[in-house]
Structure 1
Amino acid sequence: MSAPVLIGLTGSIGMGKSTTAAMFAAHGLPVWDADAAVHRLYAEGGAAVAPLAALCPAALKDGEIDRAALKQWIRDDPAAFGRIEAVVHPLVAADRAEFIAAQSARFILLDIPLLFETGAEERFDLVAVVSTTPEEQRRRVMARPGMSEQMFQSILAKQLPDAQKRERADVVIDTTTMESARHDVDMLVARLRKEYGDA
């Protein structure tokens, strides 16, 4: 059997990535979610719990890693972020590889928020970026519970600007409306099946 076609899905905060990933799943594509993988690693029994607790004992609460405690550590110690990444990145990569190896589907979607920021684009046969207008992005993000303008700007500062993501993408999916997103996903899946075949 030929190797699966790997599709990377990415986009900035509030661009509709999770909703778009669900549309690919509705077409039968297995979906791996980087954020969900991190949650599994941080949960009780997760592979990141022991090494992160050794680095930051205050982060261990009820057998799990408390993200708020990690964020506080990063605020207190600028070197902390790199030390956390050194533990978590290899574990996430292993989780992703295990997921891919377990699939028999022709196409696999990998939902990775910081795909370009981590230099991961070369691992994929195609990279799709979800995007909408800055106004719609702001509306969605500011509607989230507990979100502030300062938090929004802090998150944006860590992400490659949307315009640069669009330039580097193989495909841009317009998520301004559900209809536009579904249309773009349907067109991409049809194109992939035509180019690569279903099996």
Structure 2
Amino acid sequence: MSLGYALRRIVEEYPLAKLEPPAGHVLAAVIRKGAPDELRRALEPIEGTFLVKGSPGRGTRWAAVPWLAVFDPVVTTSATRGYYLVYLFPADRERVHLSLAQGTVAALREHGPRALEHLRASGGRLRERLSDFAGRLPVTSLSLGTAGELPEGYEAAHILGLSYGLEDLGDEARLRADLALGIEVYRTLKARGGLDGL
């Protein structure tokens, strides 16, 4: 397997997988273990310590938007808070987004009904801190194709990133170069104060 193959498998198989229970499902195992293993392999040439996790959902429910994330443990170890690099799989299943994103759940808890507004505003200020990367990570807004607190939170929490069509996932060299760029931007944001002062 490769990173591109793992990403493509999630995109293509998720719609049918959701028709079956997630417990013991092969694709749930791919998202929790197989795809994170491939992402760890892709990160090996990059110096540093990373925590990698994938989520197909919780308990007996599939996620509306599954994800595969890289965390700098100094910043966060969870998608609920801080900021991190994440692959998001939209409901339309035609694309994959690589997103530098803010933790959504903590914002929902802290800001309640104003959480999405808060996330969009802080995302704008973080983009300003990273304006020198705007040309290389040009996607500044996401559409995940489904309603709901978490998908809408993920959209609002996006800072900047890239989007891939299915045909792009066969270019492993590009995926790895983009991953390295994403890590560089992640580290740059940490060096420039992260979420401090927002």
Q: TM-score, normalised by structure 1?
A: 0.31
**Structure showing the higher strand proportion among its residues:** 2
**Structure showing the higher helix proportion among its residues:** 1
Q: TM-score, normalised by structure 2?
A: 0.31
Structure with higher RCO (Cα < 8 A, 6+ apart): 1
Q: Which of the two has higher C-alpha Rg? A: 1
